[in-house]
Structure 1
């Protein structure tokens, strides 16, 4: 099972995704963290997220390489990837990979999760809700992120948007895997 949880900044995406992950498989759950301790605000956010998780969670640092982290997770377990937005920015700007390479990495992660029977919940920010600055770098990043979202939404069994802490299911389980035009 693959679930895509999206929404605006500070909307409650991570809390909902944590609940969904805990419900998906009994026992240990795995948290693939893509954030890095880049500044004081990010350190604070990471600490807040860590404080919410109890002994059921195993945290795996995966700022760029999902493959290595995924290889350590046993079959049929629940995994929370938080968050695709940070991973995408690190791919484009730190690792300087192409957009096609980023899409290929995401597609490989999704295939591997299915092959290994993992329940994968992926969190990402919807940055396309507000007017974007007139900056080609920002536009490139948002276009790349939206491309990743379309791939993820097409492959996901469920797509949930979080607004003010409440999830709205846009693609219920069992819906077809058709991509929007």
Structure 2
């Protein structure tokens, strides 16, 4: 019989028996992931209003254009290209670029936690994530990077949630100034 390339099957009964002891930490991690996704989604949706103002169309038309583009990157590229032709105020243009750049930074961490496999240790604690990305080096191609879900990483997640909330408020503050500029 040949050895399997598969990882060992978890002892689900042992994990479930031990899980109540780690429930608080697991709940906190899941809440951080949920808040990250929630804030990121709200921020991405606010860019519909930026698009609406740049195109000088109604909200429904802007949403149609936004939804027709199937990636966040394509949507933000369109917004940045339109902004280069429509926004004459350099400070306002730079502010939009900074908002998009900060949003993109948050996108990386959101994608990391949205597109990974979670490892649960024998006590039911979420101990690691494994990226779903292929990592290519000079000599090899391997499946995803594995990272510990330690206190430092949890702190990074919490800071990302706070940053997404700050970006949300700043986009709301930016929108009326953009509207006034484009009149």
TM-score bracket, shorter-length normalisation:
under 0.3
**Bigger helix share:** 2
**Larger-Rg structure:** 2
Higher-RCO chain (CA-CA 8 Å, sequence separation at least 6): 1
**Bigger strand share:** 1
Relative to the length of structure 1, the TM-score reads: 0.26
